[in-house]
Structure 1
Amino acid sequence: MRVLKAKCVDSRVENSSENLQTAEQVMSQSDQPLADITVLDFGQVYNGPYCGFLLAQAGARVIKVESRIGETLRTRGAAAPSSYPFALLNTNKQCITLNIQSRDGQALLKKLVQHVDVVTENFAPGTMDKYGIGADALCALNPRLIYAASTGYGASGPYRDYLGMDITLQAMSGVMSVTGEGDGPPLKTAAAFADFLGGTHLYAGVLTALHQRTRTSKGSVVDISMQDCVFPTLATALGSFFVAGGKQGPRRGNKHPGLALAPYNVYPAKDGYVAIICIREGHFRNLCEAIAQPALVEDERFATNAARCKNMMALDAVIGVWTQSLPKWEVFAKTQAHGVICAPVNDLADVIRDPQLLSRETLKWRPHKGFGEIPQMHTPLRFRGFNPPELTDVPALGTDTDRILKELAGVDDAEIARLRAVEAI
């Protein structure tokens, strides 16, 4: 960072009053942490919109600003009024359309920023500056403004003007070079983790800048590089690299990148797979108890982590014989009961029925006009004593344009009609 209603769909889930907070414990919208903050969210696809999502779920008034045809993610896919990913990331936001390529649209934005606290964007580098509405121009109009941008490589350095998306950042950061099997090509993760790391750090940057503003009464510019955000995830791989004298070893698949822990792998179960890791000797003793082979602790091949790493294939074979005799959820239950770090490899059908996610309402089933009943996500941030705001529907394109332009830009019906006629909104 640079600062310049839950639906039970699985028999494992039980509705319990213990998981619900009383009305007195649930804060009203006006009591939410960021209730006094207004944000213009120019986010595109995942990175920027996730930052806006987190801000909205913390109570900020987030105004999503889209082009006249809609943000890229809204129009991806055929389901109306929005794609499923768009529906996930844009709940609890208001929506306006604004053509920032037009002079009228630029003039409107300059009026709007004088009445907001934060502008967030993850356009290609230089997009806002090209239209005269970049950080310098907008902060000059509102000295308390937080202008927060996330790009592939940040606003400085030799790559500052280069384009970047999740797959290219996974490639550039080195993550793909350590992902996959040793005899196969580099792989990207299917999850868009580089985008979401960028959005999470953008959110952190906004909060840091807002805190600074309480002390200085001045706004600032937040500069997030997705490459910077992804780099720390290589801590283990880089550790192995330097231990090996600056030589990169082969990709290890599901094993520890440096082959420095055992067991550390994905094992077959009757109906899928489970992941097991033992960090301490106590974990391994517990695992031996769970699989009813306590004598393994005394086996010289497995008596220490170093010995287990040397005999990894033999150890994995022993564990695999046990895991594949049971369903993955039974393996999970037995190992966790013995204090072993283990989890089933869930497929997507498992995930949307996960009792933990449903209990915490991280997933909440709600109606969607295009898809019917869908699981929508809540913020992962939880605070003792109150819940985040109740999820709201994703607005149709431009739903709040007229009202917000009247409120914040001071335009009347006649001017709105003119702006619409010249395609500024």
Structure 2
Amino acid sequence: MMGLPLQGLLVLEFSQYLSAPSAGLRLADLGARVIKIERPRTGDAGRKLAIKNLWVDDSSLLFHTINRNKESITADLNSEEDRALLLKLIAKTDVVLHNYRPGVMEKKGFGFETLKTVNPRLIYAEISGYGKKGPWKNKPGQDLLLQSITGLTHTTGNGQQAPVPFGIAIADILCGAQLVQGVLAALIRRQKTGKGALIELSLMESLLDFQFELLTTYYTNGQQPSRSDRNNGHPLLGAPYGLYATADGHIALAMMDISALAKAISCEPLKKFAKDLVFSSRDEIKAILAKHLATETSSHWLEHLHAAGLWAMEVLDWKTMRDHAGYKSLRMEQEVKTANGSMTTTRCPIRINGQRLFASAPAPALGQHNEKVKNELLTH
């Protein structure tokens, strides 16, 4: 695609693992030139963070997923020669990203206060685990730990279960997306004022913001969210909200009028429940529904529910989803060619003027672009 909105933007990514690299990925998808600054010999620690022991070339599949469409140079932040080269590069840079613990970049001489004297227009965007102050500031900022400490694990699963974590790195990916929002806002301001900015996020603040609906309720009434004992879908919503087994799979029921539901699926026992009982009698209603819905197939129930205009969908696994015309019409997949093969991954979900954003360049080998960057950006 020609004319991507961030073409001409130079981003240096002093980042590892997932959170800040996911921000770099999105900026690259939108046209920015993103250069990873990696440690000599070892590189980004994410190169060795394997999921299901899957590897592409010499790095983990996870690394390739989150670092496609970037370049890599190696630099030792303890080396005076390398530091001088980086500062020269930073003078030409638009955005610096990092997700090191508080104080690390400052100790190496690459904190915001230092770099803004080198480049007053620099957007300096950083992610920490818990912020720069407080008793948790130096704790490891790992996704599962953040889900646990922010109360998020008490929102999923059923009422009698132990806390249940999300099955994805929700803190990392969400925080990376919010970092991009901050960077884009700062770039717009810089266009008006000529001044750079310091953008700060933490995984903890991102997950707290993610729960604003639940936390606002808790701040108001002081009560912990109450999960359904069965078929839980949302701790603050009444019946029927949740997932239900059918004769051949599962369906999801969203918010709907209980009497309209009873009529649509011909469930006589549901008709006695008035609207004001959908929360206080939530588990009783769900038990009746679960028994009734198990008697017919998913397609049978969805036909009746959709005919009545009620919000319901089939629960799909990835194989079934991938075979569905609804998924295929989105063209979400792209092929990325690597040094020794290829991999299929998702594309950027954003469309611009009707055009999907595909970026098929693979993740870089460690230090792959050392000479290229020196020749293009550091020789003049």
Normalised to the residue count of structure 2, the TM-score between the two structures is: 0.87
Q: Distance in 2 between matches of 1:98 and 1:272?
A: 53
1:396 paired residue number: 365
Letter in 2 for 1:346: L
Coordinate RMSD, CA, aligned: 2.8
2:252 paired residue number: 275
Cα 1:267–1:39 change in 2 (3 A) is: same
1:185 paired residue number: 162
2:17 paired residue number: 45
CA contact (8 A) 1:262 1:312 kept: yes
Letter in 2 for 1:396: A
| Deviation string, structure 1 residues 177-230 (Cα, Å, up to 9, x no partner) | 444433332232121101111101111111011011011101111111221111
Instruction: Pick from 78, 87, 90 the counterpart of residue 101 of structure 1.
Output: 78
1:231 paired residue number: 208
CA contact (8 A) 1:382 1:388 kept: yes
Instruction: Pick from 32, 39, 54 the counterpart of residue 67 of structure 1.
Output: 39
Instruction: Pick from 116, 133, 139 the counterpart of residue 139 of structure 1.
Output: 116
Is residue 2:317 matched to residue 1:341? Answer: no
CA contact (8 A) 1:256 1:265 kept: yes
Q: Which range moved further: 390-399 or 206-215?
A: 390-399
Cα 1:290–1:382 change in 2 (3 A) is: farther
Matches within 5 A, 1:318-329: 318-328=288-298
Q: CA deviation at 1:132?
A: 0.9
Normalised to the residue count of structure 1, the TM-score between the two structures is: 0.78
Instruction: Pick from 55, 71, 76 the counterpart of residue 79 of structure 1.
Output: 55
Q: How many residues align?
A: 374
Flag structure 2 segments of 5+ consecutive residues without an equivalent: none
Q: Distance in 1 between matches of 2:327 and 2:285?
A: 33
Q: CA deviation at 1:365?
A: 4.5
Cα 1:259–1:210 change in 2 (3 A) is: closer
Identity of aligned residues (%): 31
Instruction: Pick from 278, 283, 287 the counterpart of residue 308 of structure 1.
Output: 278
Q: Distance in 1 between matches of 2:186 and 2:345?
A: 29
| Deviation string, structure 1 residues 124-154 (Cα, Å, up to 9, x no partner) | 2222111111212222111111110011122
Is residue 2:265 matched to residue 1:291? Answer: yes
Instruction: Pick from 210, 213, 225 the counterpart of residue 190 of structure 2.
Output: 213
Instruction: Pick from 145, 155, 160 the counterpart of residue 168 of structure 1.
Output: 145
Is residue 2:331 matched to residue 1:387? Answer: no
2:377 paired residue number: 408
Q: CA deviation at 1:157?
A: 4.7
Aligned residue for 2:87, secondary structure, equals helix
CA contact (8 A) 1:47 1:199 kept: yes
1:363 paired residue number: 333
Q: Distance in 2 between matches of 1:126 and 1:352?
A: 45
Q: Distance in 2 between matches of 1:384 and 1:337?
A: 34
Q: CA deviation at 1:292?
A: 4.2
CA contact (8 A) 1:357 1:363 kept: no
CA contact (8 A) 2:101 2:128 kept: yes
CA contact (8 A) 1:87 1:376 kept: no
Cα 1:67–1:226 change in 2 (3 A) is: same
Letter in 2 for 1:164: G
Flag structure 1 segments of 5+ consecutive residues without an equivalent: 1-26, 412-425
Instruction: Pick from 80, 89, 92 the counterpart of residue 112 of structure 1.
Output: 89
